[in-house]
Amino acid sequence: MNLIKLLKYSNPLFNKMIAKYFARETGYPKSFSKAYYAVLNHLMNCYKARQPVILTHHPSPVEIINSFNAISFIADSFSAMLAGNKMDEELIRSAERIGAPRGACSFQKSIIGLQALGLLPRISALTFLSTNQCDSPKKVFEHLSSDVPGFFIDAPYSMNGAGINYMTSQLNEFIKFLEMITGRGFNKKGLNSEIDKTNACIKSLYSLINTRKHDLIPVKPLTMYRAYFSVIGYQGSPGLIKEFLDEFTMTIKKRQEEGMGENKSRLALLQLPPFYPSKVFNVLEENDCAVVWDELPLMDYELSGHGVRGLAKKYLSSIYNKPLDERIKIIIKNVKEFRVDGVIYFSQTGCRQSNASVSAIKNALINEGIPMLILDIDCLDKESAQQGQIVTRLESFMEMLK
């Protein structure tokens, strides 16, 4: 696992070289290299373990972790990064060799693989926030917590007064847990500062997303996705991430003013596309398609005030922490708002939530006159799908939209 070795033994100067190269290759604004450099340094610091390292996943209350001057290792974001560098299959196969089912979630198999190969950072503790989106990390984290202490946050089903109170009480217990782990007292000012930083990032990300309401979309689908997932979790420096998002938004708006970005079809993507190199985005680009909306697990920053209660509201606002009928309403609203011609649903082979909801979502879209293509894939495991068959089905769908 060359990337992990580089992170273990790298230094800030080397990370800066990688970040500049990646920014040049992707064509992002210069501010991207600074933001990505901060992400690489963050991961490097996880492996050097000079601060307490908390293993977690997305979404989890990183604001609380950061306020204790601890460092979050977001396992699923790291798995996606490895898949993008063609390094995740080794982890998945390693997990299967020691008993992980072939049909299990590949994000969780990646964590098991990291542990099996001795490639996890030195973890001080772990935390898992259970949502309606996913409860599979719970068993994996329970397994890992035999070696390190763990804290499990159970997000309630609805965002009413009782639900907010319940979530607030759990976050307060999590703070006590981190006080024990780190030996440090809770810093309320520090928490509010971290809340402000991540909320500013989310606000900037919404501004970037809203550029796609325009008739012209002068950005390739893969370029936009890379931008999202390079900064998800707001690791490293939220300030630099915000700077990149703002500059990228201004770049797109300038191109739109210049008349760039005419497309034939406007698409929405639901669930996660392949993180590994695949032909999905090539087909979309070759057919002059623009991806104008994606079902990202964003939270409502406007709901989040300061303090623990404000943070509880924020984490309960995610689209994936709502009943399915509420999620469908949000999908329909955005499909109309972004003037979508067709929807592609990536039904994850190892995800019960993804597979169980697909029929209800497709029926709701059909009632609105919006066609939906279902692709059975695994966003991390390239062996899970026949690439040729996926390309054929995509091309047929593109032809139908014309």
**Mean per-residue pLDDT for 339-347?**
94
Q: Is 49 exposed, middle or buried (0-12, 13-18, 19+ CB in 10 A)?
A: middle
pLDDT tops 60 at residue 240? yes
Residue 171's SS3 state is helix
Q: Tell whether 111 is covered by a domain.
A: yes
Dump pLDDT digits (tens) for 348-364.
877 777 777 899 999 99
The letter for the amino acid at 10 is: S
Taking CA atoms, 60 is separated from 64, 109, 185, 222, 283, in Å, by 9, 19, 20, 26, 34
Q: What is the CATH number of the domain that holds 101?
A: 3.40.50.11890
Q: Tell whether 82 is covered by a domain.
A: yes
Q: Tell whether 364 is covered by a domain.
A: no
Q: Tell whether 299 is covered by a domain.
A: no
pLDDT confidence of residue 1: 47
Average pLDDT over the chain, rounded to an integer: 83
Full domain range(s) for residue 132: 2-186
Dump pLDDT digits (tens) for 281-307.
889 988 888 999 988 767 776 766 889
Residue 256's SS3 state is helix
How many domains does the chain divide into?
1
Residue 264's SS3 state is coil
Dump pLDDT digits (tens) for 96-137.
898 888 878 888 888 888 888 888 888 899 887 766 566 677
Tell me how far apart the alpha carbons of residues 114 and 396 are, in angstroms, rounded to a whole number. 39
pLDDT confidence of residue 234: 58
Tell me how far apart the alpha carbons of residues 151 and 108 are, in angstroms, rounded to a whole number. 17
The letter for the amino acid at 258 is: E
Percent of the chain at pLDDT > 90 equals 31
Dump pLDDT digits (tens) for 298-334.
777 676 688 999 999 988 888 777 788 888 999 999 9
pLDDT confidence of residue 338: 95
Q: How is residue 386 written in tokens?
A: 């026949």
Identify the helix (H) or strand (E) that includes residue 222. helix 221-231
Phi, psi torsion values for 361, nearest 5 degrees: -70, -45
What pTM, to 2 d.p., does this model score?
A: 0.89
pLDDT confidence of residue 13: 47
Q: Tell whether 38 is covered by a domain.
A: yes
Dump pLDDT digits (tens) for 259-278.
988 877 999 999 888 888 78
Neighbours of 197 (CB within 10 A): 17
Question: Contact, 335 vs 365, CB < 8 A?
Answer: yes
Q: Tell whether 53 is covered by a domain.
A: yes
Question: Contact, 371 vs 397, CB < 8 A?
Answer: yes
**Mean per-residue pLDDT for 355-375?**
92
Query: Packing angle between helix 307-316 and helix 188-210, nearest 10 degrees?
Result: 30
Taking CA atoms, 187 is separated from 153, 176, 190, in Å, by 20, 12, 5
Question: Contact, 259 vs 216, CB < 8 A?
Answer: yes
Taking CA atoms, 231 is separated from 71, 93, 266, 332, in Å, by 16, 27, 24, 26
- Model confidence at 147, in pLDDT bands (50, 70, 90)? confident
Q: Sign of dihedral through CA atoms 8, 48, 88, 99?
A: positive
Question: Angle CA(10)–CA(147)–CA(178) in degrees, nearest 5?
Answer: 75
Percent of the chain at pLDDT > 70 equals 88
- Model confidence at 141, in pLDDT bands (50, 70, 90)? confident
Question: Angle CA(343)–CA(346)–CA(352) in degrees, nearest 5?
Answer: 125
